[in-house]
Structure 1
């Protein structure tokens, strides 16, 4: 698989492969401008990534719409530990009809996320200031998390937001395959690793969580929750 390197390649991929129209590209360009401006006030992303912001953040997020072998299910997208808004805010800018919930435990980050969503006119975005542990349980169509927690911890924390139909999309960097191998055997899943389009050494864990093997597949125990 060819890895995208330049900003031009990244923007061409969005138009030609993902089919992003002019309005979508305008929203993403505005998101980039907002990110660069806010990064002067708070450290949203590493400064070294800014010269390659389209590759490292925009396409790195947008590829989640493309990378899975499965059809992306309709319904609410839950982005855990969203930080600077990647992937969730970029996804919301590309899929205006999809509700996207952005969760982060840092007030400054959530304030920025809300300002950015408002500036982009993203009525489909809901920003939640919370730890994942404190979120109310409930099913979602898609769950994403970028550099949030190791897979075993993430699954334990987040299984209560999932059903067997939920698609998980988890950018995991170079440790993707290792994290998947370390997932306890007690979890029944259909996860696999896909190659990232933006980093030859990075992988994305994607697939479905069927439940805990000790319980019926449709039962998701709320670990640590009463």
Structure 2
């Protein structure tokens, strides 16, 4: 994981992978936050991280969970280049980076779809459903207002929700959504 942290620090000044003000807290704010998702994930299936950006949580999941095939999807070619560099330099045989827009990328049929700091749930849900296999699980990393976001989609979407309290940010949660369907 230290190699990934070094790559983030080295590349961040040129392509802004994480907010510069958070680099001092890189481990607790970003890496440890993503590790908790890897700890929750089951040990089977394919994983698609949408809007991967700086590889959080996708690269961290790939590092922690070599049993999962992880695809990192981002529309920014510079960020996708960073992700490919991480995959190569960290020797992550279980990871692939793709440059494409979420809404244009062919449906992935992934067992698991994750997103962190990408969009509010009303915008995120169509992306998740587009790429999630039937019976799959969405893993959404949300901040303190996560309950408001869930309430905002309840009339348009039905799903089973398990919320996992964040170990790194009080009030934040990892949302585990299953049985997702349009209302």
TM-score category, normalised to shorter length:
over 0.9
Q: CA deviation at 1:65?
A: 2.7
What are the superposed Cα offsets for residues 111-140 of structure 1, whole Å, 9 maximum, x if unpaired?
A: 111011100001111111011011101311
Which structure is higher in strand share? 2
1:149 equivalenced with 2:122 (yes/no): no
Which residue of the other structure, out of 28, 34, 54, is the alignment partner of 2:27? 54
Range moving further from structure 2, 176-185 or 157-166: 157-166
Pairing 1:83–2:53 present: yes
Q: Distance in 2 between matches of 1:42 and 1:212?
A: 36
Looking at structure 2, the residues matched to 105 and 209 of structure 1 have their Cα atoms a distance apart, in angstroms, of: 28
Structure 2 counterpart of 1:63 = 36
Q: Secondary structure at the match of 1:132?
A: coil
1:20 aligns with: none
Deviation for aligned residue 1:199: 0.6
**CA distance in 2 between partners of 1:166 and 1:73 (Å):** 13
Q: CA deviation at 1:39?
A: 1.5
2:141 pairs, out of 156, 164, 171, with 171
Q: What is the CA-CA distance between 1:186 and the residue it aligns to?
A: 3.6
Deviation of 1:160 (Å): 2.3
Backbone CA RMSD of aligned residues: 1.6
TM-score, normalising length from structure 2?
A: 0.93
- Could you say which residue in structure 1 is the equivalent of 2:13? 40
Cα distance between partner residues in 2 of 1:160 and 1:131: 12
Query: Given the alignment, which residue of 70, 83, 90 partners 1:113?
Result: 83
The Cα offsets for residues 31-88 of structure 1, whole Å up to 9 and x where unpaired, read as 1111111123221111221222111111111101335xxx725111000001000000
In 1: Cα distance, 2:45 partner to 2:169 partner: 29
Give me the TM-score of the superposition, normalised by structure 1: 0.76
Structure 2 unmatched ranges of 5 or more: none
Q: Which runs of 5+ in 1 are unaligned?
A: 1-27, 214-226
Match of 1:129 among 90, 99, 104: 99
Match of 2:13, SS state, is coil
Deviation of the 1:164 alpha carbon:
4.4
Which structure would you say has the larger Rg? 1
Q: Secondary structure at the match of 2:142?
A: strand
Which of 56, 61, 67 pairs up with 1:97?
67
- Rounded to whole Å, the distance in 2 between the matches of 1:210 and 1:84 is 27
